[in-house]
Amino acid sequence: MRLFWGLGFALVVALGFWVGFRGRGQVEGHESSGFLDESSVSERSDPALGAAAAGAPGAAWAAGAAGAAGEQGPTGPTGSAGKGAVGKGQAPAPNPAAAPASAKAAPAAPLATLPAARALQGSEEEIEIAAILLHRPWSEVSVRLGQSRLPEDRRNLFAAVSASLAGDRERAQGFAKGLDKSDELSARERALLASALQAAPVAPVAAAAGTDSVAAMAITLALRARDGARMLAAGRHAEAASAFSEVLLGDALANWPSDRTALQRWSDGLNQAQAGHRWNVKGNWPSVTITVKSGDSLTSLRQRALKEHSGLLLCTGLIQRVNQLRNEKDLHPGDVLRLPTDRAHMVVDISTRWVLYMMGNEVVSAWEGGVGKPGNDTVPGNYVIGGKLKNPTWFRPGAKPVPFGDPENPLGTRWLAWLSNGVDSSLGFHGTTDPSSVGGAVSSGCIRMRNEDVEVLYEILPEKAEVLVQP
């Protein structure tokens, strides 16, 4: 999609419009809204293989890959969506128990400081290899490097990092030999290589601001994904959630081909981490509190909270979810509930076909989504959530309404309308009667989600929440 990092997140975090809600009672529009859908081993480490590499890079890398038998990695199709110059098709093969943060807690470092994706330097071949490094296992990186004409030290950089990520420390050190003094690598790339070899955590992605190397960005994201998995295994849910959030956002904005398998893997990790962080009443997230009074319901609590704290954006389902309430029977006079001060908003990335539910600058939940088919493309821009409906009727211009449950109604179990400048856009989030189509480009412009996913979104996304749709 090749969107500027800074522009994208300036829009996400600071969209300036605040539009009045128009309740519509029914879903209208063209889809009513329609549905959318969906190694090279150097002479330094092995003279024999190095000699082969001098004449035919593929020979050395094929030999290097042969030693990777039994390696564990992602399985299944890549499901890649094209992005950027090389995106014309598929890519080759804090502690939750900590004291809650106050409402005045410092916000997360803004990702608006990241470099523009278009400014990341690298040939088309290097962008392609960077994407494989980030998305795929060592064996696939090795095969691709065997076909590469990149300078040897740059091939060895990718090989060393990928082998390290696969847990093959000895192989990684062999590829890395001498790279600490290589003029082919930037200081940032050498520092990232050292982090990979030492299995050390890397700084948050925002710390990479100013880097101009596509390799450095891919390696940063790959190491942050590794950090996320480790933090999750250690029960450090806030740190894991932050890492997976950065990886999802970084991959969405980069100018390399996306990968459905990797996106789902990171989303699964994120969702597990957020269960112990943003969706945990004891999590360390910014909040204010409200005390339950006799006779209170979730609706009355929301109304009182909005009167006391005008800047909040809440719905009853969000209050219930963050406080881990099963239902209103869990409300008792004197109970103290937490209310998030980070406003919920959405980012829809058309090129990756991924839907990101955010609070502040952090992705809290992520799902696959479908997009508009050619001729009915999903329109990038800024929207606001309007009416929300259960079991929606499908309205088409010039045709009879199609009730919920009719096989001809494609909207599934939920509908969340998008307003544009205060006017119904005929677009929105909705479910589907054909789950296999999610992730495809088959709708009339809306964002199609699996019913179980859009039902969650329906509960936690307030009306008036902002939606950024990016190419």
231-267: pLDDT as tens digits: 999 999 999 999 999 999 999 888 788 899 999 999 9
pLDDT at 212: 67
Question: Is 235 among the domain residues?
Answer: yes
Question: Is 354 among the domain residues?
Answer: no
Tell me: do 33 and 94 sit in the same domain. Answer: no
Q: Which residue has 């050395």 as its token pair?
A: 60
Tell me: do 255 and 318 sit in the same domain. Answer: no
Question: What is the bridge-based pairing of β-strands 423-430 and 381-390?
Answer: unpaired
Tell me: do 170 and 297 sit in the same domain. Answer: no
Query: What tens digit of pLDDT does each residue of 104-123 get?
Result: 333 333 333 333 444 567 88
| Burial degree of 12 (CB within 10 A; 0-12, 13-18, 19+) | buried
Average pLDDT over residues 433-440: 94
Nearest to 154 by CA among 115, 200, 195, 189: 189
CA-based radius of gyration for the chain: 24
Tell me: do 99 and 200 sit in the same domain. Answer: yes
Tell me: do 210 and 83 sit in the same domain. Answer: yes
Query: What tens digit of pLDDT does each residue of 147-203 get?
Result: 999 999 999 999 999 999 999 999 999 999 999 999 999 999 999 999 999 987 777
DSSP state at residue 378: P
Q: What is the pTM of this model?
A: 0.77
Q: Which residue has 């998995």 as its token pair?
A: 229
Give me the half-sphere count of Cα atoms (radius 13 Å) on the Cβ side of residue 394. Answer: 23
Tell me: do 52 and 34 sit in the same domain. Answer: no
pLDDT at 396: 81
Phi, psi for 348 (deg, rounded to 5): -110, 120
CATH code for the domain in which residue 326 is found: 3.10.350.10
Question: Is 349 among the domain residues?
Answer: no
Question: Is 357 among the domain residues?
Answer: no
Tell me: do 253 and 113 sit in the same domain. Answer: yes
Helix (H) or strand (E) holding 447: strand 447-448
Question: Is 348 among the domain residues?
Answer: no
Question: Is 360 among the domain residues?
Answer: no
Q: pLDDT-based confidence at 425, cuts 50/70/90?
A: very high
Tell me: do 139 and 265 sit in the same domain. Answer: yes
Tell me: do 234 and 336 sit in the same domain. Answer: no
Number of domains in the chain: 3
CATH code for the domain in which residue 420 is found: 2.40.440.10
Tell me: do 267 and 178 sit in the same domain. Answer: yes
Neighbours of 70 (CB within 10 A): 6
pLDDT at 387: 93
**Percent of the chain having pLDDT more than 90?**
66
Question: Is 358 among the domain residues?
Answer: no
Whole-angstrom distance, CA of residue 467 vs CA of residue 208: 27
Tell me: do 336 and 373 sit in the same domain. Answer: no
Question: Is 453 among the domain residues?
Answer: yes
Tell me: do 232 and 336 sit in the same domain. Answer: no
Looking at the predicted structure, is the pLDDT value of residue 66 above 80?
A: no
Retrieve residue 176's tokens.
């890395």
- 299 is in which domain, residue-wise? 287-340
